[in-house]
Amino acid sequence: MSVTSKDSLQRRQDAADMDWRDYAACRDVDPDMFFPLGTVGASLPQIEQAKRVCRMCPVSGPCLSWALDHGDDGVWGGTTEEERRRRRQSRALGESGRAKNSCRFS
């Protein structure tokens, strides 16, 4: 298991209020699968394999929410780091647009 995998797994184990993890499909899968060394080439089949596990997971929604809020690396909730980064940016743009629009009409 890589250092990154161990650190991320430990963070997951330390989060006592994350009881959704008890029901995660990845619970009995090698954690290294969810922490590929890259995002292209030989890492693509590994990423797809991790996402396949996520697609079968009953708690992928809470997992994705957790990852979006905490910015963790690896595959979480069926998304890669880059996919979550784009979601965060879209969410931030949407919030700033709403804030600007609400100020205009105050």
The number of distinct structural domains making up the chain is 1
Which conformational region is residue 77 in: left (phi greater than 0), alpha (psi within -120 to 50 degrees), or beta?
A: left
- Whole-model pTM above 0.75? no
2 pLDDT band, cuts 50/70/90, is low
Q: What pLDDT, in 10s, does the model give residues 24-56?
A: 999 999 999 999 999 899 999 999 999 999 999
Q: Could you tell me what percentage of the chain is helix, strand and coil, using 3-state DSSP and rounding each to the nearest 5? A: 70, 0, 30
Q: Which two tokens stand for residue 18?
A: 């994350």
pLDDT reading at 11 higher than 80: no
Q: Which two tokens stand for residue 104?
A: 């205009």
Residue range of the domain that includes 23 = 3-104
